[in-house]
Structure 1
Amino acid sequence: MSVAGESSSTELAASAAEALDRLNEHTLKTVHWHFHDDTGCPFWLEKKAELNFDPLKDVKSFDDLKKFPNFEDEWLRGGPIRRWVPKGHAGKPVFVFETGGTTGVPKSRMVIEDHWKDYELFSDTLPDKYFPRGANWLMLGPSGPRRLRLAVEHLAQHRDGICFCIDLDPRWVVKLLKKGQMDQVEAYKKHCIDQAVTILTAGHDVKCMFATPKLLESLGEALDEKGTSLAEVGITGIFSGGTEFTPQWTRFCVEELLGGSPEESGVYMTPTYGNTLMGLACSKQITAADGYKISYYAPQPRAVTEVVTFEDYNQVVGYGETGRVKLYTLTDEFFVPGFMERDEGERERPFATYPWDGVSGVRPFHELASATTVGVY
């Protein structure tokens, strides 16, 4: 047994070393793209003059990104949006996606094809048994100027399906919550769920879906009131996301809402952690044996997450220890050398599928938690 264990450990170490080599190479390529006069974006070319180092000469590895100041929220609030478009992508159609902005000016991110690429990579992680190719999808989440709506639609199309979407404005929900109008919040949630139930019971052959935890729970309850269930209306694969994803909720979802493990219920649910800057981090498969623990792994080398100490955001915590989540985005469309997320969690070890660090127990950062309004998510 010890020989097998040592072999496995050696293989993982080799995979981790290869992943780090790829990350270092990708980092170098990304930095050169964004800071070269011919390909870079106006924002970073202008910012280069303020730095006390030369990104083109002094960044030789991923670790060298710590030379940059942390990426500031406010840089994304307001325009012009074209200051973020790299010269190397001039002339291509540009999307703009918003994030945050429940009060004041929302943060905006320009995108060309990143949302397609991120979800194509995510598609490769979905088991065809539960997310069958050619099946149609339901998008039960925020609409409007948000990346998620178009990204899930592309995911469905990439898997040869058609995506049905609902109308949902989370900003309206946040306004109602701040006014304490809980009856109106419930009425709006019912409005969203009614749309979903109509789609699922209209014979559209929808087998796969995205939903936030709260909406998934409400949908299950609404179907139950009609004497049916997610499995009975044909759903076999669900991916979900949001800070409300806890082991306790996951246990409830699998055991009560879905009727047991995928082998028992025929319904597979996978948690995800993502945002407009990062893309989508996949979860290590959740099991009852592991206490429904949820561990997320970023899509390296396009994005990286670290769990850093609360005192020093350039210092990674030990495995199993708690810290704040720090994000790096490294694509040829967008460069973020260290963004402090509004989340905290525990640092997780690499494993065979994702031979780099992960994060578990994701929850609102304790210093900001009281100021964070959690609405439909």
Structure 2
Amino acid sequence: MSIPLEQRITEARKRLDEHTVRTVHKHFHPEDGAPFWLEKAKTYNFNPLTDVKCFDDLKKFPLFEDDWLRGGPVDRFLPKSLHGEPRFVFETGGTTGIPKSRCVVRDHWIDYELFSETLPDKYFPKGANWLMLGPSGPRRLRLAIEHLCQFRGGICFCIDLDPRWVVKLIKKGDIAGAKAYADHAIDQATTILSAGHDIKCAFATPKLLEALCLRLVDNGSSIEEAGLTGIFCGGTEMTAQWMRFAKEELLGDNVYIAPTYGNTLMGLACGKPVSKEENYKISYYAPQPRAVTEIVDFKDYNKTVEYGGTGRVKLYTLTDELFIPGFMERDEGERERPYEQFPWEGVSGTRPFHEFAKTTTVGVY
């Protein structure tokens, strides 16, 4: 007998409250906590160790500032109890100035192992090889996709891609140069797919997936004929209109697309299965309780909008390795109701926050 949705929502909220308290105690532990937060705690008019009793108590913290992630020491957000572990540094942004970065031990593995549970084995077979058609270099996505593939028993084939270079070309007005770089990425992908590696699954950004599909068509082939059955796709440029185009024109009926929304801070928000009945609307649900998203009022970031209402995305990261009590994302969208698979609120229609949209340069992503 299935558990009623309202009960699942209540249980999920209880888990989130308990997880929040544990996470705060981890990061504010007097001896083993995170150096950044132990120093910050001295400036608060409350005690995180005694005054945070549930998730809503995180609103006692001031908003997390974007620039805190720029520069070092990079491990200041990592609890001291983890400073002896092998660590990774992952960057985000960085087209101009010092890039934002975070120090990671296991979070990228955990996030993608949890995501693996949501993939249908029919289209993402266990043991299948993968193509990683996305950014490389200091970005966590490269290692995370490889881990996802290995965790599912396959071998991951990757391409070289520096999205920062593409953004620089676009900002200079060198559209031909940006197009040539995108072609260079697709050249690598088609070469790998033609090499007999029995690749059945892939990660791709929307723009690169579209470019790959069109290149294969130009070569007298298709995604399906190339052997791919499952595509894991991520990026804020993914709209319902694009999803309809992808399913009806690019992929066909026998290739599954799993839309996701995520970043270096959040992890990976899974997409609710897209259907024609819902006009291909894409709804995302954060990996609660490790991360939480709220859709908040444009003028009051502590107030969530009504279901169906439009607001800015507010992120909370609650892992043993990173604590972020309220980070204002550069995206906006509509607040979605909980549902059976993810009994907490989600977001649909993600797009650049309207106050930033005109100044945001979108590159090869």
Question: Normalising by structure 2, what TM-score?
Answer: 0.99
Match of residue 79 from structure 2: 86
Query: C-alpha distance in 1, partners of 2:239/2:307?
Result: 20
Aligned residues: 365
What's 1:333 paired with? 321
Task: Give structure 1 stretches of 5+ with no counterpart.
Answer: 1-6, 260-264
Give the match for residue 4 of structure 1. none
Give secondary structure in 1 for the equivalent of 2:95: coil
Q: How far is 1:132 from its partner?
A: 0.3
Residue 3 of structure 1: aligned partner: none
Equivalent residues of 2:91, 2:264 under 8 A apart: yes
Q: Deviations over 1:24-45 (max 9, x none)?
A: 0000000001001122111001
Do residues 65 (structure 1) and 58 (structure 2) align? yes
Q: Aligned pair 1:109/2:97, yes or no?
A: no
Structure 2 letter corresponding to 1:327 = L
Percent identity (aligned): 70
Residue 115 of structure 2 is matched in structure 1 by: 122
Counterpart in the other structure of 1:305: 293
* 1:250 aligned residue (228, 233, 243): 243
Aligned with 1:50: secondary structure?
A: coil
Aligned residue among 344, 352, 356 for 1:356: 344
Residue 181 in structure 1 maps to residue 169 in structure 2: no
Whole-Å separation in 1 of the counterparts to 2:63 and 2:223: 43
Q: Is the 8 A contact 2:75 2:83 kept in 1?
A: no
CA distance in 2, matches of 1:61, 1:85: 22
- Name the CA distance, whole Å, in 1 between partners of 2:97 and 2:82: 30
CA distance in 1, matches of 2:285, 2:358: 27
Q: Which of residues 179, 194, 198 in structure 2 aligns to 1:205?
A: 198
What TM-score comes out, normalization by structure 1 length? 0.96
Counterpart residue identity of residue 265, structure 2: L
CA distance in 2, matches of 1:358, 1:161: 31
**Structure 2 residue corresponding to 1:43, chosen from 26, 32, 36:** 36
Instruction: Please give the alpha-carbon distance, in whole angstroms, between the structure 2 residues aligned to 1:366 and 1:117.
Output: 33
Output the CA distance in 2 between the equivalents of 1:189 and 1:105: 25
Structure 1 segments, 4+ long, off by >4 Å, are none
Match in the other structure for 1:262:
none
Q: 1:222 aligns with which of 215, 225, 228?
A: 215
- Partners of 2:75 and 2:102 within 8 A in 1: no
CA distance in 2, matches of 1:11, 1:359: 22
Instruction: State the 1:87 CA deviation.
Output: 1.1
* Partner residue, 2:47: 54
For the pair 1:196 / 2:189, whether they are aligned, the reply is yes
1:248-287 to structure 2, matched below 5 A, reads 248-259=241-252, 265-287=253-275
Deviations 1:238-291 (A, max 9, x none): 0101111000000000000012xxxxx321001000000000000110011110
